[in-house]
Amino acid sequence: MMEIVHVPLRERAYDIYIGSGILEQAGFRIAPFLSRPRVAVVSDETVAGLHLERLQAALRVEGIDSDVLTLPAGEGTKSWQHLIQTVEWLLEQKMGRDDVVVVIGGGVVGDLAGFAASILRRGVRFVQIPTTLLAQVDSSVGGKTGINVAAGKNQVGNFHQPCLVLADVDVLETLPERAFLSGYAEVMKYGLLGDEKFFEWLEQHGEAMKAGDTCARIAAVRWSCQMKTDIVIRDETERGERALLNLGHTFGHALEAATGYSDRLLHGEGVSIGCGLAVELSARLGLCSQEDPSRVRAHLRDMGMKVELKDIPGDLPSAESLMDLMSQDKKVVAGQMRYVLMRGIGRAFLSSDVPRAEVMRLLNDELQHAR
Ligand SMILES: NC(=O)c1ccc[n+]([C@@H]2O[C@H](COP(=O)([O-])OP(=O)(O)OC[C@H]3O[C@@H](n4cnc5c(N)ncnc54)[C@H](O)[C@@H]3O)[C@@H](O)[C@H]2O)c1
Ligand SMILES: O=C(O)C(=O)C[C@@H](O)[C@H](O)[C@H](O)COP(=O)(O)O
Ligand SMILES: [Zn+2]
């Protein structure tokens, strides 16, 4: 069972292979990109322990040698410290301009090592082998790479497209449920932002995906990658439409910063809560019906996801502080916040016309429930 999504970005075009048994094909799929039979692999400790051996075996079948850098698992790895470590290691490995870096793991190592590849000798090619649902449907596609810094989430980075993406849904079998649901938030985001039919399909098949149904997982990954590709090819560097992929992220990124990029709140959990807030804000502004926030939050609850601020363990800062964190958002233009809002499910749009007082009211109401 295999699907291919092509990303037609002229000289940066690439294919996304999605299916079962794709990891075993890594050697012959990567070989055509190599100028010599050697790659540098970057992973994290958890993924390396579970899936690295199979990757290296698949490479060996094609006579490809691999050296491996294994980083700590978790959001904290998307840092200056680990960026330096990764770049220095790639230089020690004498990875040249014509070599290829292979990243196997979730969005954390994908974003970090993709960024390292983008600045190594002013840019070397890299292959993404995403092992979380989130990475398969979102972070491995579209070329956003980067790290978190004191000023905020992904504030230092680059657009650098991979040359190949290998998404093997079999590796999701070892993924803990919490990480699966975090990725599911980004899947649901696509339905909310641009395709009500997909949202309906998720309402019907979300449980099957969670239970491990391979066909449902392949279908959802393909659908998501195709939707992201369609947007990215029209607006690769986020001058306009691509910002729709940021639905739920203005709130979500601020919440991740407020919780210290820690285990208290995973990226997708921030997105899940952020999508709930974005649709609630849209309803309060009279842009969509009052039923929409209820429907979205009901589906999230049914799936067992975090939905409201009260679902975040521990204390949260004030609405004022959250607004301050949100002011670092990359969608800000001329000092003005821009929000992704909804006219209905599947009908997101970008707006700079949102009264600050309305956002403050929403955050204060939600914080009150959380106390
Ligand atoms: N570049 C983009 O377009 C983009 C899009 C969405 C999210 N992101 C970024 O992605 C990051 C989140 O990615 P993530 O959710 O994949 O987190 P992650 O990379 O931290 O992975 C989650 C956890 O699952 C473990 N893991 C990974 N694959 C596994 C497997 N198959 N079996 C068992 N455990 C496994 C990891 O070791 C980690 O502990 C955030 O930093 C977010 O900002 C980037
Ligand atoms: O690919 C995009 O564009 C996205 O916005 C996808 C998001 O899910 C992702 O979290 C991205 O890293 C956020 O980008 P940022 O520019 O808001 O940091
Ligand atoms: Zn995201």
Q: For 267-282, what is each residue's pLDDT tens digit? A: 999 999 999 999 999 9
Q: Give the Cα separation of 170 and 314 in Å (integer).
A: 35
Q: Is the distance from the beta carbon of residue 144 to the nearest atom of ligand 2 less than 6 Å?
A: yes
Q: Which of 140, 174, 208 is the last residue of a domain?
A: 174
**CA nearest to 2, candidates 228, 230, 225:** 225
pLDDT of residue 199: 98
**CA nearest to 132, candidates 248, 266, 309, 303:** 266
Averaged pLDDT, 14-38: 98
How remote is the C-alpha of 209 from its chain's centroid?
Answer: 18
Annotated active-site residue 253? The verdict is yes
Query: What is the percent of the chain with per-residue pLDDT over 70, rounded to a whole number?
Result: 100
pLDDT tens for each residue of 305-325:
999 999 999 999 999 999 999
Question: Does 153 lie in the same domain as 11?
Answer: yes
Q: Which of 118, 152, 174 is the last residue of a domain?
A: 174
Q: Give the Cα separation of 51 and 23 in Å (integer).
A: 9
The mean pLDDT of the chain is: 97
pLDDT of residue 5: 98
Ligand minimally distant from the alpha carbon of residue 162: 1
Averaged pLDDT, 100-128: 98
Question: Does 85 lie in the same domain as 47?
Answer: yes
Question: Does 163 lie in the same domain as 189?
Answer: no
The structure tokens 């590709």 sit at: 229
Cβ-based burial of 347 (10 A; exposed 0-12, middle 13-18, buried ≥19): middle
Question: Does 15 lie in the same domain as 71?
Answer: yes
pLDDT of residue 347: 98
Does residue 160 register a pLDDT over 80?
yes
pLDDT of residue 1: 84
Domain of residue 300: give its range.
177-370
pLDDT of residue 259: 96
Averaged pLDDT, 332-347: 95
Question: CB within 8 A of 259, min separation 6: which ones?
Answer: 265, 312, 314, 316
Q: Say how many residues make up the chain.
A: 371
Helical axes 177-194 vs 214-234, angle rounded to 10°:
50
Q: Give the Cα separation of 101 and 103 in Å (integer).
A: 7
Annotated active-site residue 228? The verdict is yes
Does residue 370 register a pLDDT over 90?
no
pLDDT of residue 281: 98
Q: Which of 174, 205, 224 is the last residue of a domain?
A: 174
Q: Give the Cα separation of 339 and 326 in Å (integer).
A: 10
Does residue 371 register a pLDDT over 90?
no
Annotated active-site residue 122? The verdict is yes
Look at strands 65-71 and 38-44 and give their pairing. Answer: parallel
Give the number of the atom of ligand 2 that is nearest the alpha carbon of residue 253: 17
Max CA separation in the chain (angstroms): 62
Does residue 97 register a pLDDT over 90?
yes
**CA nearest to 361, candidates 314, 319, 299:** 319
Averaged pLDDT, 285-298: 98
Q: Is the ipTM of this complex over 0.95?
A: yes
Binding site as annotated, residues for Zn(2+)? 186, 249, 267
pTM over 0.80: yes
- Total domain count, the chain: 2
Binding site as annotated, residues for NAD(+)? 107-111, 131-132, 144, 153
Long-range contacts of 53-60, Cβ-Cβ distance < 8 Å, separation of 24 or more:
54/23, 54/24, 55/23, 55/26, 55/102, 55/104, 55/129, 58/23, 58/24, 58/25, 58/26, 58/27, 59/26, 59/27, 59/30, 60/27
How remote is the C-alpha of 95 from its chain's centroid?
Answer: 27
Measured in angstroms, how far is the CA atom of residue 246 from the centroid of ligand 3? 7
pLDDT band at 295 (very low <50, low <70, confident <90, very high): very high
pLDDT band at 57 (very low <50, low <70, confident <90, very high): very high
Residue 290 maps to which CATH number? 1.20.1090.10
Q: Is the distance from the beta carbon of residue 248 to the nearest atom of ligand 1 less than 6 Å?
A: no
Question: CB within 8 A of 311, min separation 6: which ones?
Answer: 269, 273
Measured in angstroms, how far is the CA atom of residue 57 from the centroid of ligand 3? 32
pLDDT band at 118 (very low <50, low <70, confident <90, very high): very high
